[in-house]
Structures are given as structure tokens and as C-alpha cells.
Amino acid sequence: MQLGEYFIANGLITREELERALQAQKENPQSRLGHILVSMGVLQMKDLYRHIKGWLETKQEEGKVQEEAYRWISDSEIESPPE
């Protein structure tokens, strides 16, 4: 499951919010989806990190986590996310 779909499935964002964020990401490809959602005011940073952790755990249980997925978020940020 892609991160955006995970956010929708968990009631964090709507399909329309995801589509807007993905469009913004197309216009600025180096931006990360979660950070775009935070800048849109859809998610708070602490919620983003908490739910990314849950998404990664789900992917790990499915045997689909790649090391790269963990690269952009440190353990310290997962345990004590920025406000």
C-alpha cells in the first residue's frame, strides 16, 4: 500500500487532499508527500511521523520494507517527532 493510500485508509486525509498533494509533488518532485501534506495544513508534523512509523511497520510485516524507506526519517524523529 502506498503511503497516501495508507493515510486515506486510516482517515487522515481525503482522496481530494491526496490528489492535490500529488499534483504539488509533480510540480516539485524533490518534495516528500508527507511534508507537502503538512505544508497544506492537512497533517501536523507529529502525526505525520507517527503514521509513517505505522505504515513502515505494516510494510515490514508484509516483507516489503526497503532500507531506503527508513533513510529519510531517523529513529529519533520517530520516537520524538518534531512539533
Predicted pLDDT of residue 81: 53
Residue 5 in grid coordinates: 493510500
Mean pLDDT of the region 8-23: 96
pLDDT tens-place string over residues 25-82:
999 988 889 999 999 999 999 889 888 888 888 877 666 655 545 554 555 444 555 5
pLDDT at residue 40, as a whole number: 96
The pTM for the full model equals: 0.72
Counted domains in the chain: 1
Q: CA-to-CA distance for 65 and 3, rounded, in angstroms?
A: 12
Q: How far apart are the first and last CA of the chain?
A: 26
Q: What is the pLDDT of residue 13?
A: 96
How far is residue 16 from each of residues 32, 56, 82, measured CA to CA in Å?
Answer: 17, 23, 26
Range of the domain at 7: 3-79
